[in-house]
Amino acid sequence: MTSLKKFLHFWAVAFFPSRCPYCNKVIDDSECACKRCRKQIPEYCWKTYAAGGYICAAALPYKDAYSKAIHKLKFKNRTDLAKPLAMQIVRAVKELYGDLHFDLVTCVPMHKINRKLRGYNQAELLARECAELLELPYLGTLEKFKQNQPQHETSKDEREKNVRGVYRLLGNTDLSGKRVLLIDDVITTGHTLGECSRILMKGKCAEICCAVVCVASVNKFIAPG
Ligand SMILES: [Zn+2]
């Protein structure tokens, strides 16, 4: 680190210390959670599937303190939680995909109007942190060009239809032969990740592997290890 970076880092830590995503206790910025919450974190990750059969690694069940952490990241401006939550994604990626080499990390995009309203896309923050932790390039590859109803506001039966045809490849994205790690915050029915994967495959990707922080309906998907 340069001395300016060290100086800025010192003040950032002094005024905005890292906090445990699950209980808000101050933690060291190299930690993913406080000691107590770390002990509660499930030992194994989940192997789930997005629509279309795309494999997805998930680190945590979407409930209790874990769903609250996602909620803070998404709706309460807690962008500082992207790093510790990305550490969970990386844990699941390493457990499920082992030494598989990825060429790049990308994310589920937001419509530009919604992104402007929120000020950021939480999936992009998570993907950028994952890329840094995995020492891989991050690349924006997709665009959401049609607004739809938020997936969580639609019924399970409507979700497949709701995401169909709302994404497209960004400009000159060339993904020929690449193995892509696609990141989102939560997998519920898997239709969003499935539709994004379908579009990425149109870009001639060799393979798509998905990874998320949380999996909802773990009963349906559960497969530890
Ligand atoms: Zn904690």
Q: Residues 65-80: pLDDT tens digits?
A: 999 999 999 999 999 9
Task: Give the confidence band of 156 by pLDDT, cuts at 50, 70, 90.
Answer: confident
Task: Give the confidence band of 224 by pLDDT, cuts at 50, 70, 90.
Answer: very low
Write down the pLDDT at residue 21: 97
Tell me the residue range of the domain where 178 lies. 45-146+165-218
Dump pLDDT digits (tens) for 161-185: 899 999 999 987 889 999 999 999 9
Q: Please give the average per-residue pLDDT across 140-161, as a whole number.
A: 88
- The count of domains in the chain is 1
Q: Is residue 135 part of a domain?
A: yes
Q: Is residue 66 part of a domain?
A: yes
Rounded to a whole number of angstroms, the distance between the first and last alpha carbons of the chain is 38
Q: Is residue 171 part of a domain?
A: yes
Q: Is residue 15 part of a domain?
A: no
Q: Is the pLDDT of residue 218 over 90?
A: no
Q: Is residue 96 part of a domain?
A: yes
Q: Is residue 185 part of a domain?
A: yes
CATH code, 106: 3.40.50.2020
| Sequence-ordered list of residues with C-beta below 8 angstroms from that of 79, at least 6 positions apart, any chain | 73, 120, 122, 125
Going along 62-169, which residue ranges are E strands? 104-107, 142-144, 167-169
Å from CA of 161 to ligand 1 middle? 39
Å from CA of 38 to ligand 1 middle? 7
User: Which three-class secondary structure state does DSSP give residue 53?
Assistant: coil
Å from CA of 27 to ligand 1 middle? 8
Q: Is the pLDDT of residue 222 over 50?
A: no
Å from CA of 180 to ligand 1 middle? 32
Å from CA of 132 to ligand 1 middle? 23
Q: Is residue 159 part of a domain?
A: no
Q: Is the pLDDT of residue 225 over 60?
A: no
Q: Is the pLDDT of residue 12 over 80?
A: no
Rounded to whole angstroms, how far apart are CA atoms 185 and 37?
19
Q: Please give the average per-residue pLDDT across 19-28, as a whole number.
A: 96
Å from CA of 51 to ligand 1 middle? 33
Task: Give the confidence band of 219 by pLDDT, cuts at 50, 70, 90.
Answer: low
Q: Is the pLDDT of residue 112 over 70?
A: yes
Task: Please name the residue that has the structure tokens 């990141």.
Answer: 183
Residue 196 CB coordination number (10 Å): 29
Which residues lie across from 55 on neighbouring strands? 49
Write down the pLDDT at residue 46: 95
Strand 207-215 versus strand 179-187 pairing type: parallel
Q: Is residue 37 part of a domain?
A: no
Q: Is the pLDDT of residue 223 over 70?
A: no
Q: Is the pLDDT of residue 110 over 90?
A: yes
Long-range pairs of 67-70 with CB within 8 A, sequence gap ≥ 24: 67/214, 68/22, 69/21, 69/22, 69/213, 70/185, 70/186, 70/213, 70/214
Rounded to whole angstroms, how far apart are CA atoms 124 and 102?
17
Å from CA of 45 to ligand 1 middle? 19
